[in-house]
């Protein structure tokens, strides 16, 4: 405990606050779009927060690195943009379990890890950008349909962005709560006079199908690896920390497997909060900065018990406002992914095709466009690469 400096404690608390406030609306939107009831969404949010909290305590203590853990924000965005599966939320739970198994296998089988790493980065980023695009439209759509409710949130986000980009979403969430208090009639939402602070500990019966495995589980796995795990490892390596990739992947995969039956989104390595806790702001001694990640984990565990209240509050707002807040949180990720997707001037068509098909929301043979987008883009990438060598 001697290594727990005030700087590490402050940065850990700040990272937890920023990470949670910036993305809990995305997780709620993803769970509800997948067919979850209010109680199921609250339980899923609770276990997802507990999962990343426990990982954020355990992994830094074991590795002595600021190994920040978060839930799969791109995965939640993908669920929010996907059509409801025929089997309802049970089929989503089945897909979450399959995704968690794939992540565990990636940490166990080196060949699978190499196969994922072999996916061209522009293709992976184009897939991520396509998954995020529709949800990033939500703020503009809400501004047109509910301007008086959306404008304060948008202004708060813009003020935070110009001041410090890490404050953009916390200020937007604060404005969202103010809008709930002053601008929305209680009668327009659900009854929130009683809040279920205790989560439902009964697991949801999963439904497995080939369609959900290909349409949901596989794209969820790919965007989690490409959009969260790989950038999270890169941040730690950039700050000169030794990264035990297989161990970290296995660990987050096993925790994801444990919480998936309760409707919780996958947990994984984080890049944004890791960059906050791996730098000098978390302490002058790099060997002690892991305490910042531990402090963030303790905060996440405490925040988990707010899941019921937040879910109940969210029912007061129009769904368009909830998805708009989620969309604002995803704009930085969308900008980063779309920029990286078109970074190779000699390979523009392949990522463009991946992006357009993934963003279209189309289905072919019951399989989502996210899968077909990466297949089509990958084929074009291979054909162009081989043609150049001839």
DSSP 243-266: --HHHHHHHHHHHHHHHGGGTPPP
The predicted pLDDT at position 141 comes to: 92
The predicted pLDDT at position 1 comes to: 63
Which of 12, 133, 69 has the alpha carbon at shortest distance from 265?
Answer: 69
Instruction: List b or e across 261-288, with b for residues whose CB sees 16 or more CB atoms inside 10 angstroms.
Output: bbbbbbbbbbbbbbbbbbbebbbeebeb
Work out the angle at residue 307's Cα, subtended by the Cα atoms of residues 304 and 308, and round it to the nearest 5 degrees. 135
The predicted pLDDT at position 366 comes to: 64
Spatial CB neighbours of 127, under 8 Å, sequence gap ≥ 6: 219, 222, 223, 226, 354, 355, 358, 370, 373, 374, 377
Instruction: For residue 385, give the H/E element and its range.
Output: helix 369-389
The predicted pLDDT at position 374 comes to: 83
The predicted pLDDT at position 184 comes to: 67
The predicted pLDDT at position 226 comes to: 80
The predicted pLDDT at position 188 comes to: 46
Question: Which pair of tokens denotes residue 376?
Answer: 């089509």
Query: pTM score, two decimals?
Result: 0.82
The predicted pLDDT at position 247 comes to: 94
Specify whether the CB–CB gap between 62 and 50 falls below 8 A: no
The predicted pLDDT at position 190 comes to: 47
CA dist., res. 124 & res. 117, Å (int): 10
Specify whether the CB–CB gap between 74 and 27 falls below 8 A: no
**Beta carbons within 10 angstroms of residue 295's beta carbon:** 25
The predicted pLDDT at position 46 comes to: 94
Residues of the chain scoring pLDDT < 70:
1-3, 184-199, 365-368, 388-390
Question: Which pair of tokens denotes residue 41?
Answer: 């969404």
């Amino acid at each position: 405990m001697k290594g727990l400096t005030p700087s590490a404690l402050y940065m850990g608390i700040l990272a937890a606050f920023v990470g949670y406030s910036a993305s809990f609306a995305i997780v709620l939107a993803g769970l509800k779009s997948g067919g979850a009831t209010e109680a199921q969404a609250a339980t899923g949010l609770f276990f997802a927060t507990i999962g990343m909290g426990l990982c954020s305590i355990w992994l830094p203590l074991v590795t002595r690195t600021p190994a920040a853990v978060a839930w799969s924000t791109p995965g939640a965005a993908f669920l929010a943009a996907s059509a409801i599966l025929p089997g309802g939320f049970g089929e989503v739970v089945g897909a979450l379990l399959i995704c968690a198994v794939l992540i565990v296998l990636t940490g166990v089988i080196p060949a699978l890890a190499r196969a994922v790493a072999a996916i061209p980065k522009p293709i992976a980023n184009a897939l991520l950008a396509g998954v995020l695009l529709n949800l990033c439209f939500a703020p503009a759509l809400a501004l047109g349909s509910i301007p008086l409710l959306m404008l304060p949130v948008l202004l708060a986000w813009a003020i935070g962005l110009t001041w410090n980009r890490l404050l953009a979403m916390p200020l937007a969430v604060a404005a969202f709560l103010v809008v709930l208090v002053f601008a929305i009639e209680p009668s327009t939402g659900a009854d929130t006079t009683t809040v279920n602070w205790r989560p439902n500990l009964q697991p949801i019966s999963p439904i497995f199908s080939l369609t959900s495995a290909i349409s949901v589980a596989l794209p969820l796995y790919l965007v989690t690896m490409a959009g969260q795990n790989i950038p999270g490892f890169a941040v730690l390596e950039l700050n000169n920390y030794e990264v035990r990739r297989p161990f970290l992947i296995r660990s987050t995969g096993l925790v994801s497997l444990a919480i998936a039956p309760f409707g919780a989104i996958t947990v994984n390595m984080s890049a944004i909060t890791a960059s906050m806790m791996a730098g000098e702001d978390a302490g002058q001694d790099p060997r002690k900065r892991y305490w910042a990640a531990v402090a963030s984990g303790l905060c996440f565990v405490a925040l988990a018990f707010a899941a019921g209240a937040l879910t109940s509050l969210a029912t007061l707002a129009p769904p368009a406002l909830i998805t708009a807040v989620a969309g604002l949180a995803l704009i930085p990720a969308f900008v980063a992914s779309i920029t990286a997707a078109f970074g190779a001037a000699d390979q523009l068509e392949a990522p463009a095709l991946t992006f357009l098909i993934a963003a279209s929301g189309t289905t072919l043979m019951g399989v989502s466009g996210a899968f077909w987008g990466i297949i089509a883009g990958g084929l074009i990438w291979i054909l162009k690469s081989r043609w150049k060598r001839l």
